[in-house]
Amino acid sequence: MKYLIQDRGYRMYMQGRSGSYSNDVGTAITETLPSWLSEKGNIETRVIKSDDPEFWRILSDERMSLERQISDLKIKLHTATLNLSKIEDAFKSR
């Protein structure tokens, strides 16, 4: 069984980091719950188990978001590389 631990602000608990929450889903996937939390969660924290379709919806949404981010970053990197090359060429011809 895998788990996501989510607070009321929809941030994910970072396993192994006491009181640490983040919007990063991938690093929040865990196979063990902290000792202070049961599978039922509590008033402040929701436990989403991998047998819950919501677990897979969250992962699917995050995967699509990360794929878009990576694509955007590749375009930015290509543009920055091209611009740097043109600037270096200008310096060489001076």
pLDDT score of 10: 83
* Interval 43-62 mean pLDDT: 95
- The pLDDT-based confidence of 29 (bands split at 50, 70, 90) is very high
- Positive or negative: CA dihedral 33, 36, 40, 44: negative
pLDDT score of 5: 93
- The pLDDT-based confidence of 16 (bands split at 50, 70, 90) is low
Q: Is pLDDT of 18 > 90?
A: no
Lowest mean pLDDT among 31-40, 43-52, 71-80: 31-40
Mean of the per-residue pLDDT values for the chain? Answer: 92
Q: How many beta carbons lie within 10 A of that of residue 53, not counting itself?
A: 9
**SS3 (DSSP) at 9:** coil
Q: Is pLDDT of 19 > 80?
A: no
